């Protein structure tokens, strides 16, 4: 692995925000992605992340960030959220995503009312969700879990 000075920069121009990450690979599918706040090992071996893992992770984290913003504005409190993002790729080339399903489990919400609307709005405002929706059939569901604290 080459050691380089990795930098992630944001450029703000009016309403445009450009972001990027840096990646380096060996002459095999083994690499590293370096962003402003962390790194991820990329590959197909134990301890690495594959490309669609990153896509699904980007979707889940963007969707949660948007969901959280809405829940905070609605003053809905909960202990945590778990998400499972899964999908099916097409068999024809290019093998883009055919379907994507997101299951959101909210743990110990103070109230359930309003969280369904928060998730619906999150799917409408999350840029990654909207980007993927142009190639895949997107579905989502909301579940609640109550545990003894």
Kindly report the CATH number assigned to the domain that includes residue 115.
3.30.300.20
- Judge whether 98 lies within some domain: yes
- Judge whether 43 lies within some domain: no
Domain extent for 90: 78-145
Number of domains forming the structure of the chain: 1
Cα separation of 35 and 87, whole Å? 25
The answer to whether 119 and 143 have CB atoms below 8 angstroms apart is no
DSSP SS3 for 67: helix
pLDDT in tens, the chain (149 residues): 344 444 444 555 556 777 889 999 999 999 999 999 999 999 999 999 999 999 999 999 999 999 999 999 999 999 999 999 999 999 999 999 999 999 999 999 999 999 999 999 999 999 999 999 999 999 999 999 999 87
- Judge whether 113 lies within some domain: yes
Report the Cα 59 to chain-centroid distance in Å: 3
Q: What is the pTM of this model?
A: 0.86
- Judge whether 104 lies within some domain: yes
């Amino acid at each position: 692995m080459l050691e380089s000075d990795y930098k992630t920069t944001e450029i703000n121009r009016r309403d445009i925000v450009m972001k990027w990450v840096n990646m380096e690979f060996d002459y095999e599918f083994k690499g590293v992605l370096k962003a402003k706040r962390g790194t991820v090992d990329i590959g197909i071996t134990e301890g690495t992340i594959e490309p669609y893992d990153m896509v699904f992770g980007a979707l889940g984290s963007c969707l949660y960030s948007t969901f959280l913003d809405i829940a905070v504005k609605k003053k809905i409190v909960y202990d945590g959220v778990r998400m499972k993002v899964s999908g099916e790729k097409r068999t024809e080339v290019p093998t883009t995503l055919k379907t994507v399903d997101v299951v959101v489990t909210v743990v110990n919400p103070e109230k359930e009312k309003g969280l369904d609307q928060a998730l619906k709005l999150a799917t409408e405002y999350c840029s990654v969700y909207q980007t993927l929706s142009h190639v895949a059939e997107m579905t989502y569901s909301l579940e609640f879990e109550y545990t003894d604290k």
